Structure formats: C-alpha cells, structure tokens
Structure 1
Amino acid sequence: MASRTVVRSSRWREYRSLPGEFLLAGTVQVDGSSTYYQTTGSCEVEHHTVVFLHGMASSSACWREQIAAVGRLAYTVAVDLPGHGRSEGEGYADAREYAVFLDRFLDALGVRQPVVLAGMCLGAAVALEFAARWPDRVAGLVLSGIADRFAVDEDALAMARAGLWSEAFWQGQLGPHAREEVVRLNQICWLQTRPEVRYADMLACANFRASGLPRRVRAPALVLSGTEDRITPPEGARNLCRGLGNSILEVVPGAGHVALLEEPERLHSAVARFLAAIGAPNPVPARML
C-alpha cells in the first residue's frame, strides 16, 4: 500500500469513497476564511498533484468519482471555491480573483511543486488565468467546458441578477445523453449555491476572454470539448487550442458542457495518458501543513 501524508488543517475527516479508496476532507484558512477541500492519493515526491476546480454554481462534490479514480495515479485535491459548497466567502465575479485565491490556497496547503490544474467551466477559466499569471506553479492543464469565450445567455443573466433560476440555461449545460446521476448532482449543486454566488459565477464566465492568456501559458494542456456543448462549443475550444503552444484537443461525442462528468471513464483514461506524457514532477519535497 502506498504511503500517505495527511494534510493537517483546522479540521479534517476521512471517509470511504470507492472500494479500496479513501478521501480526506478538511479545511484551511485562506485570507481569514475557512476553505473546504477533499483529497486522496499519495503525495510522494514522484507523484503529480492534481487540483480539481469545479464549474459555476457547483462545488468539490461534483469531482468525487474523478478524484477517487485519478487518486490512484496522483495526489488529488478538489477545493470548494469561496462562497461555494462548504467554503466561506462571497464568491467573485471575475475568474482572475479566483486565480489569486488559488495561489493563496496552494500556499496554505504548503504545496511547493508545480501542480496539474483540472478545471471545468468556470474552473477551467480560473486554471487558465492562474497558468498565465504563475506559469512556474503549473505542470499541466486539463481544461473542459472552456473556449475563447463563454456563450452566457443575457436572459439567464437577468434572471440570475433577480435571484431566479433559469432552468433553460441549466439544462443547456447537459448533453442529450447525460446520466440521471449527473443531472441530479448538477441540479443539487446549482440549487444549493446561493443566488448571489450563482449570478457572480455567471458574470465571471460571461466576462471571460481568453485573448492574451494562451501565449503566457508554458504548461502543456489537454482540452476536452463536448460536441453538444452550447456554452463553449468545440469551435471555440479549437480557437483556444490554436493559441496554446503545447495542447491537445479531445472532442467527446454526445457530451455537453459538463463533459468531464458525463463521460468519467473517458476523462480518467485521458488524464492517465496526459500524466504519463508530461512525466514525473520535479523532485521538490512536498511540505504539507
């Protein structure tokens, strides 16, 4: 059995996820606010650290299946962004502010070696902003549900500003063959996120522009796009990849905006190939709190 280093925080708990797998859940203080995260896998120095960043109006709960699977290959961390899930805070209307938060969160965990950022939707925009601003902290990018810009419906934004839930916009995130558990999980996360945070997330996506970011990114990138994604369609993902110096685009047939959740087995195999391709991380000892 691989050795495991436990991350100490203000509180943590351990629970079983899949047969033979354990997740650790805990909190750290970031700028005076409690930040919740889940983690699994081994943080030995020859293993990559993969940080999962959820999408708009979601939380680390959406990654439970993914972090358990990828945790067999790497040390994984899935964080609740400020104002989401079990994290304190108000949330931000700009992906760049979440990128600054991520820098401080990694410092709070004591993560020193470059990480692989795996982001979906808003989380992918945050990962790209982070990689452009702190290229030395990123070993690789796994980006899903992102393009050179997001197609966020003005009517949905107006409803969100009024504190209402646009079911049409929410439904538009899903492919036509999304599994029932994916639909249910996405709906639960969406409805459990405070209305003002949902609105801020949608604004952050609506205002995101990739122009200028890709040329500042040095890390290799794997970009996944669903053929049925109406918010960040494949052509926009291709435009993004053209600007990234070292990237691979994988189009997922039949998947929608949350392709990483709709096709988990495809994600797991794609991430495994990507981690193998970028090689072992630099041997910087991990300093965990």
Structure 2
Amino acid sequence: MPEVTVRGIRFHAQTMDPPRGAAPGAPVVVFVHGLVIDNLSSFYYTLAGPVSAAGARAVLYDLRGHGRSELTPAGYRAADGVEDLFGVLDALGHRQPVYLVSNSFGGVVALNAALARPGRVAGLVMIESYGPAEHAGEWTEDMLNTIGRSALALEYERLADQLLAIGWRKGGRQAQTAHALINGTSLLDDLAAVEPVRPAALAALDCPVLAVYGEHSDIVAAGRLLLRSVPGCTLHIMAGHAHTVLREGTAELLGVMLPWLAHHAGTRVPVMAAGGAA
C-alpha cells in the first residue's frame, strides 16, 4: 500500500503510469474525490484507467480522514486540503503543473488550489463540483444538513454495527470510517467555515476549466457560474443525470473529458472515446 507522509500525516496514494512507449514528459492528472463515504476508488474504477491509457500519469490519493489516509482530529478546512494536495504531490516528486480532476467536494480543494498556486495547476476538470457560488451558504448549508443527518444515523442508529451484523463488511467499514470522521473530528465546524469562490476570483483563473454537471443536479448553477465567470471554461450538461454523474454517466463523461485533455495536455483520444463524443 503506497503511503507518503505530509506534515506528519500519513496519506494513501496510488499512481497509474502511462503505457510503455508513451511520449516522455507525460502530463500528470490528479484526482480529488468527495467527502465522507468516498475515497480514491471512485476514480480508480472509472476515470483513472482510461486517462492513464491515453498517455497521462494518473495520481490518486485519499483525502485526510478518508479511505486509508490517516484520520486526524482537525484540519478539514479548504486551506488544509490545498496544503495536503501539494504536499502529497511534492512527496511523490510531482512539482510541475498538473491537471486536477475533482468530484463533488473535491472541487473545493481543486479550485482553491488553482487560485492559491496558479503556477502549479495547468487545468481543472470540475465534475459535479462544489466551490463556486455568488453568495455564502448557497451550497454549504445543504451539505451540512445532509452530513448532519448522516451523523445522527451513524451515532444513534448504530448503522455500522447493523451493516456488520448482516454480513456487509465493506459497508460496515465505510460506515465506521464515516462515523469517526463526522462525529470524531472538526469536519462539520471546518465545513461551516468554508467560503465559496465568488465570480471576481473565478475571473482571475488563467487555466482552462472543463465543468461537467448533471441536468437535474442541485448544484448545476455552479457549472453555469463557472461558464459565465472563468474566461477559459467549457461547460457540459449531462442530460438526465443528477449529482452521481461520475458513477452513472462514466462513458459520456470520458467522451467529453478525454478530448479536452488531448487538446490541453497533449494526451491521445482513444478511438472508442472519440466516437462516443462525436
């Protein structure tokens, strides 16, 4: 299990190298997953393999307190996520500009990373990503309410014990991890303090951005705000989808994302993906 230590904290990371014979100096594409019941596996089994096969070096890591990364009592602010991200990349030896692919809350980390250190981010792929908003509380309140309800179920309904009792070990372990994260750390307080990235800051982004949101998503307005505010933004709305486009719309997502990476990062477009995007 590959691990790196960043600021005294242990992080689990995985790398998928491009095929042998790929052009030297392969672009690095880093995947940043969402909160609580999520980890790097959500990208490992969907996007990372095809991106690597297209000629990029795919880097995946578990956020602090998620998956196999270390759980800490505090440190879940957006700024902590940014420092963790660049710390992991430094530890892996990736100091060149990278492409960040984010899903859900991972967009908060990716977007703030691009603003904090623009010289290290070559481009952003925002998949159903939180982060941009015109006013405070537009998405944080809903997210906190959702996580708060999960906290109650985990604490008082002993969800993890119930899942383990019926033999669902994977679900039980995930519930145990979520319980420790939500009820045993500063996560909720840190999320409550997150400020959205507003239009003026978005306008300062000088890297290309691909925004992909579901037609029926509760946060599709974030994608439209990115399109209006970021000079180099491309928006793709996935018809018939809501927030789960990564899992339920993987083929269409790849059909949009791989050509975008080919144009901006110099990877190749597999024939099947090119045909699907046509």
Normalised to the residue count of structure 1, the TM-score between the two structures is 0.72
Pairing 1:84-233 to 2, within 5 Å after superposition:
84-90=66-72, 92-146=75-129, 147-148=132-133, 149-150=138-139, 152-153=141-142, 155-160=145-150, 162=152, 164=154, 191-198=175-182, 207-211=194-198, 212-230=200-218, 232=219
**2:71, 2:181 within 8 Å by CA — same for their partners in 1?**
no
- Taking a change above 3 Å as real, the CA distance of residues 209 and 246 of structure 1, as seen in their structure-2 partners, is same
Aligned residues with identical type, % of pairs = 27
CA contact (8 A) 2:226 2:233 kept: no
Q: Which consecutive residues of structure 1, in runs of 5 or more, have no partner in the other structure?
A: 1-11, 13-25, 168-183, 282-289
Tell whether the 8 Å contact from 1:223 to 1:250 is kept in structure 2 after alignment: yes
Contact 1:82 1:88 (C-alpha < 8 Å) held by counterparts? yes
The structure 1 segments of at least 4 consecutive aligned residues displaced by more than 4 Å after TM superposition are: 160-163, 186-190, 199-206
Name the larger-Rg structure: 2
- How do residues 66-81 of structure 1 correspond to structure 2 at under 5 angstroms? 66-73=47-54, 74-81=56-63
Could you tell me which runs of 5 or more consecutive residues in structure 2 were left unpaired when the two chains were aligned.
158-167, 268-278
Given that 1:122 and 1:204 are in contact with CA atoms closer than 8 Å, whether structure 2 keeps it comes out as: no
Q: Which has the higher contact order (CA 8 A, sep 6+)?
A: 1
Q: Give the structure 2 partner of residue 37 of structure 1.
A: 13
3-state DSSP of counterpart to 1:218 = coil
For the 8 Å contact 1:238–1:249, the answer to whether it is kept is: yes
More helix by proportion, 1 or 2?
Answer: 2
RMSD: 2.9
Deviation at 1:280, TM superposition (A): 3.4
Deviation at 1:203, TM superposition (A): 5.7
Partner Cα separation in structure 2 for residue 273 and residue 189 of structure 1: 37
Structure 2 residue 25 is the aligned partner of structure 1 residue 46: yes
Structure 1 residues 252 and 192: CA distance shift in structure 2, 3 A: farther
* Corresponding residue SS for 2:10: strand
Go from structure 1 to structure 2 and tell me whether the alpha carbon gap of 1:69 and 1:100 turns closer, same or farther (over 3 Å shift): same
- Post-superposition CA distance 1:136-155 (Å, at most 9, x none): 00111000112425254364
Give how far 1:236 is off.
Answer: 2.8
TM normalised by structure 2 equals 0.75
Aligned length: 238
For 1:166 and 1:248, how far apart are their aligned partners in 2? 44
